[in-house]
Structure 1
Amino acid sequence: MTAYIRRAAALSLVLLVALLANAARVQVLQADRLDGNPANRRTVLSRYAEPRGDILVEGRPVTGSKDTGQLLRYERTYTDGPLYAPVTGHASQTYGTTLVEDAEDAVLSGTSPRLSPLPPWSGLAPGRRPGGRVATTIRSALQQAAYRGLAGRRGAVVALEPSSGRVLALVSSPSYDPGVLSGTGSEVATAWARLNTAPDRPMLNRALRETYPPGSTFKIVTAAAALDARVVTDVHAPTGTPDPYPLPGTRTLLPNEANGCADASLAYAIRWSCNTVLARLGVEVGQSRLLRTARAFGFNDPDLRIPSRVARSHIDTDMSPDRLALSAIGQYDTRATPLQMAMVASAVAGDGELARPYLVESTATAGGGLVGRTPRRTYARAMEPSTARRLRELMVDVVERGSGSNAGIEGAEVGGKTGTAQHGMGNQGTPYAWFIGWARAAGAARPAVAVAVVVEDAAARREEISGGGSAAPIARSVMEAALVPDRGP
């Protein structure tokens, strides 16, 4: 009898060990796979069982949560949704998250271990805490000025604080209301299909995710390379450039839209945007030095985040001399995001030092306890301080006596560069209008803002499009807003 008891006990022990081993396998080894299984509704139900944390602009929430009483209880809501959509993105129960909603999802959804007052290894911290808060660097006055200026036209505006890298405005137009995608059901699916098939592509973040030929605004990069390399030592000296300029190795003649570009100085060429002078200087600078300068400004960087992903701005790394000449004036296959061109203006305004741009100022718990703060970091030394000072003088001249007069602000120092970028088959597409610039209040030690504006303006007549005419007035309104003292929330 005792032998039977021992055998039964041994069998029970084996079964118990097998049960424990299986439980460990399921709860430890397979936990992540089971959590991620689409059939597992617990994670989804838990995610929407509590309100999502808010995204803040100047201390005020521009997002919220609505109790639907449904199985997926809380839906995301947005205040001034189209105005801030290029910043917030959407948080949809059906289609996921984008932009800041995505980059800071762990904080906003309450899953980040940083939100707990207890260390994650203590075993006492709950798995999900109330959603935290994300404070952005956006200033509402600048955001509204940019949004009003574009007035629904296709384009984008980015404004940066040169000294810190803070993103002060980030607008893409036309925009959309992310709230229509928040929930589930046929209405959300219809809205998703409508937005994704709209000809103007309102869900495309043109400020961060679209690249354009930068046209003449890229001439600031070429001029920086020429000054740093001492190819130009006197910006007022004639350059000996013919008008038109024969592209090296070809019979193609590069013309100018402006008059007086023959043998023009660099100062005159920047003031009136002479293609010939900057194209020739690009060839003289050479591919390696031009590429080195462009990379210092941010071109060809595939890893730029603010914290949302930014599309890679591009300049070719293997060019024949004629293509190098075209690239030096922002044509050929050179492309840039509006954020990238705002970085160019910011580096000039910042004495050649480019601060890394960022959009999230800080994160906090639901109760306001600080979780993290984004520090100021240097992205690169884009040019020598003396070069930056000289370029600021040339850009001020553009606004005061040249093609950028529409950006002038009474009582402030404003520097800028206009651009009209050709594109399309045979350059027959409607040109893009560009303006990049910066502004410094009277008596201020340094510029308060750097801005980039691009307007696609497909409805305008070709001859009416120019950076000075279409984009500069928008930049002026944004810079004016930036020069008003920031009084906080």
Structure 2
Amino acid sequence: MIPYARRAAALCLLLLVALLVNALRIQVVRAPAYDANPANRRVPIERYGQPRGDILVGSRPVTGSRSTGAQLDWVRTYADGPLYAPVTGFSSQTYGTALLEAAEDDILSGSSPGLSALPLWNAVSRQPQRPGHVRTTIDPAVQKAAYKALGGKKGAVAALDPATGRILALVSTPSYDPGTIAGTGPQALGAWRRLVTAEDQPMLNRALRQTYPPGSTFKTVTAVAALVSGVVTDVDRPTDSPDPYPLPGSTTALGNESASAGCEDAPLRYAYVVSCNTVFGKLGDDVGLRAMRETAEAFGFNDPSIGVPSHPAVSVFDRRMDRAQLALSSIGQYDTRATPLQMAMVAAAVANDGTLMYPHLVDRTTDGAGLPLEVTGQRAYRQVMDAAVAFAMQDMMVAVVRHGTGRNAALPGALVGGKTGTAQHGEDNRGNPFAWFISWAKQSRGAPAEVAVAVVVEDAAADRADISGGGKAAPVARAVMRAVLAH
């Protein structure tokens, strides 16, 4: 009898071990696959079983949560939704997350191990953690000024603190209210369909996720390349630049907007102020593809790793071009494309004496009690140019505002530098141009620059002759700079 009892006990022990192993397999090894299975309702029920953490602008939350009493209880809400949508993105029970809501989802949803003093125990017990909060670098006064200045225009604004890389404003218009798509009912479904099929694309973040030909604002990059490479050593010395300029290897000649601009053999300073295509097209060819590409990439072009923490679209300067294409790219045309954030980085590097700081949108993350989890430090992205080149560029940008096409950006009592751009696009360049303006402002010469701005306006309803960076975009930049300097 004893041998049978021993065998039965051994079999029971084996079955117990098998049950434990299977439980371990299901609860630990297979847990990620079960969590990701769309049929598993426990994950969304747990996710929306408590209020989501908040995104803060200044000291004020611009997000919230409301209880519905349904199975997926807590729904995301937004204060000033259209104003801050390019910053927050959306969190939807139906459509997922986007932008900052996606990039910081682990903090906001409470799933980050850093929110718990005993993360391993929480992972085993699967006890819900109190969500944390995300404080942005956005200045509410600057954000509101940019949004109001754009008004009904289709376009975008990106504003940076040149010395720190803090993003002070991100505006994209037309915009939308993320709260309309936060839930699960027919209202959210209808709102989503209207938004994604709208002709003017209100859900497109034009400040971060849309690239445009930068037009003459890119001449800032070309001027830096010419000075850094030594192709130009004196900004007031005449250049060898015919008008019109025959594009190398082509039967096409590059001209200027005005035949009376006096661009033939114009010095760099004069050519920058009046925006001579011929001078900058030839300078790009003289500098050469390699040096032009290296300078553009020092400003952040062609870099897919930049995250703020949401990843902007990659701004592009082609790495393979013939000489004619290089000349066109050097005036911000051909295949050269940039986001407003990228062009704000160009202005910021010049304003910060040649040092480009890494742009960032999150100031800090905190736990549910407000205690800091992570504070975003300031770090340099690249030393784009030395101080002497930066000072020369600053003087040229100031001349654009004082004497050139950027007069609409001038602010009494402040030192403002800028560059206009009118970017051609469409088949045979027949589309309405995009109006650009990049700029920076400081209280006085010798003081640190307090803001760098990029503005782009897509105004399809305007007459073609009425679209220009100085006319359409510069007043928007002025409003943004005024808001920063007013603090």
TM-score by length of 2: 0.98
1:118 touches 1:125 (CA, 8 Å); kept in 2? no
Q: Which moved more, 1:26-35 or 1:160-169?
A: 26-35
1:116 touches 1:125 (CA, 8 Å); kept in 2? no
Secondary structure in structure 2 of the residue aligned to 1:243: coil
Corresponding residue of 2:164: 164
Alignment of 1:374-389 (within 5 A): 374-389=376-391
Corresponding residue of 2:373: 371
Find the aligned partners of 1:77 and 1:182 in 2 and give their Cα distance: 7
Alignment of 1:21-36 (within 5 A): 21-36=21-36
- Give the superposition deviation at 1:23: 1.2
Find the aligned partners of 2:267 and 2:123 in 1 and give their Cα distance: 70
Corresponding residue of 2:454: 452
Secondary structure in structure 2 of the residue aligned to 1:326: helix
1:118 touches 1:124 (CA, 8 Å); kept in 2? no
Find the aligned partners of 1:441 and 1:127 in 2 and give their Cα distance: 53
Secondary structure in structure 1 of the residue aligned to 2:438: strand
Aligned counterpart for 1:262 among listed residues 256, 261, 264: 264
Find the aligned partners of 2:446 and 2:384 in 1 and give their Cα distance: 23
Residues 340-386 of structure 1, C-alpha deviation per residue, up to 9 Å, x if partnerless?
00000000001110000000000001111111100001111111211
Find the aligned partners of 1:434 and 1:123 in 2 and give their Cα distance: 50
The one-letter amino acid paired with 1:93 is Q
1:213 touches 1:336 (CA, 8 Å); kept in 2? yes
Alignment of 1:31-430 (within 5 A): 31-118=31-118, 120=120, 127-258=127-258, 259-430=261-432
The one-letter amino acid paired with 2:11 is L
Find the aligned partners of 1:119 and 1:32 in 2 and give their Cα distance: 17
Matched residues, number: 485
Q: Which moved more, 1:185-194 or 1:159-168?
A: 185-194
Find the aligned partners of 2:61 and 2:430 in 1 and give their Cα distance: 45
Report percent identity of matched pairs.
Answer: 60
Secondary structure in structure 1 of the residue aligned to 2:420: strand
- Give the superposition deviation at 1:320: 0.7
1:345 touches 1:451 (CA, 8 Å); kept in 2? yes
Find the aligned partners of 1:472 and 1:350 in 2 and give their Cα distance: 21
- Give the superposition deviation at 1:444: 6.5
- Give the superposition deviation at 1:445: 1.9
1:51 touches 1:65 (CA, 8 Å); kept in 2? yes
1:433 touches 1:454 (CA, 8 Å); kept in 2? yes
Find the aligned partners of 2:35 and 2:123 in 1 and give their Cα distance: 19
- Give the superposition deviation at 1:26: 1.0
2:309 touches 2:360 (CA, 8 Å); kept in 1? yes
Find the aligned partners of 2:425 and 2:205 in 1 and give their Cα distance: 20
Find the aligned partners of 1:4 and 1:292 in 2 and give their Cα distance: 81
Q: Which moved more, 1:18-27 or 1:177-186?
A: 18-27
Could you list the runs of 5+ residues in structure 2 that have no partner in the other structure? none
Secondary structure in structure 1 of the residue aligned to 2:249: coil
Secondary structure in structure 1 of the residue aligned to 2:171: strand
Residues 386-426 of structure 1, C-alpha deviation per residue, up to 9 Å, x if partnerless?
11110000000000000000000000000000000000110
Corresponding residue of 1:474: 476
- Give the superposition deviation at 1:124: 8.8
Secondary structure in structure 1 of the residue aligned to 2:478: helix
CA shift in 2, pair 1:390/1:125, >3 Å: farther
Aligned counterpart for 1:432 among listed residues 415, 418, 434: 434
C-alpha RMSD over aligned residues: 1.3
The one-letter amino acid paired with 2:338 is A
- Give the superposition deviation at 1:3: 3.0
1:155 touches 1:455 (CA, 8 Å); kept in 2? yes
Secondary structure in structure 1 of the residue aligned to 2:203: coil
Find the aligned partners of 2:15 and 2:374 in 1 and give their Cα distance: 49
- Give the superposition deviation at 1:145: 1.0
The one-letter amino acid paired with 1:2 is I
- Give the superposition deviation at 1:28: 1.9
Residues 302-359 of structure 1, C-alpha deviation per residue, up to 9 Å, x if partnerless?
1110000111000111111111100000001000000000000000001110000000
- Give the superposition deviation at 1:119: 5.2
The one-letter amino acid paired with 1:221 is V
Secondary structure in structure 1 of the residue aligned to 2:10: helix
Corresponding residue of 2:10: 10
Find the aligned partners of 1:23 and 1:69 in 2 and give their Cα distance: 33
CA shift in 2, pair 1:127/1:272, >3 Å: farther
Secondary structure in structure 1 of the residue aligned to 2:50: coil
Find the aligned partners of 2:368 and 2:155 in 1 and give their Cα distance: 36
Secondary structure in structure 2 of the residue aligned to 1:249: coil
Could you list the runs of 5+ residues in structure 1 that have no partner in the other structure? none
Q: Which moved more, 1:125-134 or 1:27-36?
A: 125-134
CA shift in 2, pair 1:443/1:217, >3 Å: closer
Residues 421-470 of structure 1, C-alpha deviation per residue, up to 9 Å, x if partnerless?
00011011110000000000137721100000000111101010000000
Q: Which moved more, 1:15-24 or 1:309-318?
A: 15-24
Q: Which moved more, 1:160-169 or 1:226-235?
A: 226-235
Find the aligned partners of 2:283 and 2:232 in 1 and give their Cα distance: 8
Secondary structure in structure 2 of the residue aligned to 1:135: strand
Secondary structure in structure 2 of the residue aligned to 1:260: coil
Secondary structure in structure 1 of the residue aligned to 2:337: coil
Residues 37-68 of structure 1, C-alpha deviation per residue, up to 9 Å, x if partnerless?
11211111111111111100011000000011
Secondary structure in structure 2 of the residue aligned to 1:482: helix
TM-score by length of 1: 0.97
